[in-house]
Amino acid sequence: MIGENLLGPEPTLLSEDPAAATASQPGADPESVVREHPESPLAWAILADRADAAGDEIEAYAFARVGYHRGLDALRKAGWRGAGPVPWSHEPNRGVLRALYALRRAAGRIGEQGEVERLTEFLNGADPGAIAAIEG
């Protein structure tokens, strides 16, 4: 495999997010999911998505920021050391990646361009296809 860093860190594969089953149910209330699973980056990302869709930019940013921090907590707990792959293909990783994306989007909405660039780099480093997968 030419071009692959064989000395790089192994991919981080998170455990199943307990909020995933609840959040994916039709009609699930994002606030209730967050109350039930406040540690879940997915739950916060969904809440950020809802706020963004309603045009509540500051609330979307705040919710996404919490999801980002919960995501970092989950990654570190799984052994992540600040760099390395976090593949979108591993479904439990998607909540963290969605939280990162939600923060990136919200930062752009409030004009925080440096944060957008940093989070774009973070997402591309985690999985180069994550942004396209989330937007698709």
Question: Considering the domain boundaries, does residue 15 fall inside one?
Answer: no
Question: Considering the domain boundaries, does residue 119 fall inside one?
Answer: yes
Contact (CB, 8 A) for 43 and 19: yes
- Give the mean pLDDT of 112-134: 98
pLDDT at 23 over 60: yes
pTM: 0.93
Number of domains in the chain: 1
Query: Which CATH number belongs to the domain containing residue 55 in this structure?
Result: 1.25.40
Question: Considering the domain boundaries, does residue 25 fall inside one?
Answer: no
A 10 A CB-CB count for 122 gives 18
Question: Considering the domain boundaries, does residue 114 fall inside one?
Answer: yes
- Could you tell me the two tokens for 132? 């396209």
pLDDT at 22 over 60: yes
Positive or negative torsion for Cα 120, 126, 129, 132: negative
Domain of residue 46: give its range. 31-135
1 vs 28, higher pLDDT: 28
Question: Considering the domain boundaries, does residue 7 fall inside one?
Answer: no
- Give the mean pLDDT of 38-56: 97
pLDDT of res. 5: 58
